[in-house]
Amino acid sequence: MLSCFSFFMLSIVKPNQYYQVFLPQGVAMGIGALIYLPLMTLVSQHFKARKALPMGIVAAAAPVGAIVFTIMLNHLFYKLGFTQGIRAAAYMTLGLFVLGNALLFVPRTKSISPASTQSDLPIRPARLVWDMPYVLTLTSAFLLSLGSNTPGFYLQLFAEVHGVDKTVVFYCLAIMNVSSFVGRLLPNHLADRVGAINVYIPCLVLTGLVELAMLGCINVVGLILFSIFYGFLFGSVIALYLPMISELTPPGVEMGKRMGVALIPIGVASMVGPPITGAILGPDYVWWKAIVFSSIIILAASACNITARQVHRRGASGQLPPRCESPLDTPHALDSVSTDLEKSCHH
């Protein structure tokens, strides 16, 4: 309701009144977006194993919305003006929210095992939430969000500076969203077979390398190819992030808390990243500095994830499963972990 309300309030803002845009778009809609995490957690509760693909399907709604709203608002603003165009989008959003809420329900059985109870789970102190793989993963998420702003915020300016037609740039953004949609499905399907972190790391490394290739994309063909590959890879790392957090979570640790904290560094970096990139770019548009900076930051993020996987495999917070199944996903694995913990406590 808050998201819909902010949409309607956005339609009545006056020109050259920054605070009137900031309050509904920045504050109210930002608070309303907090619904994202409960939805992802609820989806994960419906599946004992192979959670990556369902969570990827939910995440794939974002690029679909970006495509639909971009094209729709572009036509509505031209025909109806800003006020009526925003209101039409708000009414559509309200209808979709009503439909979405009608489809939500909590599964009757627990996501770990029907026979397990709270007493069966090993008790984990709050400090154990901050294990080393988790901290490294959060650091990686911060760096990724810090370094991924150049294409998202400056691709249009980059194309215009190099003489590319504005219509082509518009379609490049649409192509990037379509590729992002595909990237949130196929890698997640593979992650259910080989593990989310094992798919996340190669996608993250390739994202950093493809972003570096943006330096050579100064014509129409180059921009289209860049939009395809970058959209696919960046969409994959976005969709695989929370399944990877689930995979790295030890038994007995509250999943909702882990996922909630895991989104904080992304929000902070998304707020400070664009101004930093803009300052590096400068008034003279020194593109190589901004692009190289972003690429190095993303590659540093991949190094954090590689380290997190190695630490996790060595047993710092449990063994990495061969498939995308956390120790909570199978009763036998849960019993084994509980037994090992009890033995260690007695010793």
d(CA 113, CA 115): 5
Q: What are phi and psi of 109, to 5 degrees?
A: -100, 155
Q: For the chain, what percent of residues have pLDDT higher than 90?
A: 24
83-97 pLDDT tens trace: 898 898 889 888 888
User: In angstroms, rounded to a whole number, what is the distance separating the alpha carbons of residues 255 and 44?
Assistant: 10
Res 325: pLDDT: 43
Report the distance separating Cα 87 and Cα 4, nearest Å.
10
Mean per-residue pLDDT of the chain: 80
Q: What is the number of alpha carbons within 13 Å of residue 128 lying toward its C-beta? A: 15
pLDDT at 110: 52
- Calpha distance 18→212 (Å, rounded): 34
Helices 149-161 and 220-248: angle between axes, nearest 10 degrees: 180
> May I ask the CATH architecture of the domain 2-103+128-331?
Up-down Bundle (1.20)
Task: Please check whether residue 214 is in contact with residue 166, taking contact to mean a CB–CB distance below 8 angstroms.
Answer: no
Mean pLDDT per 10-residue segment, the chain (347 residues): 82 84 83 76 76 82 85 86 89 87 75 44 53 91 90 86 81 87 90 90 95 89 92 92 86 78 89 90 90 94 94 63 42 42 43
What residues contact 342, with CB distance under 8 A and at least 6 apart? none
For residue 44, the one-letter residue type is: S
Q: How far apart are the first and last CA of the chain?
A: 54
pLDDT at residue 122, rounded to an integer: 52
Question: Using one digit for the tens of pLDDT, what is the confidence trace for 61-114?
Answer: 888 888 888 888 888 888 888 889 889 888 988 888 888 888 877 777 654 444
Q: How would you label 266-277 residue by residue, b for 16+ Cβ within 10 Å and e otherwise?
A: beebeeebbebb
Q: Is the pTM of this model over 0.85?
A: no
Share of the chain above pLDDT 70, in %: 84
C-alpha radius of gyration, the chain, whole number: 22
How far apart CA 342 and CA 119 sit, in angstroms, is: 13
Sequence ranges of the domains in the chain:
2-103+128-331
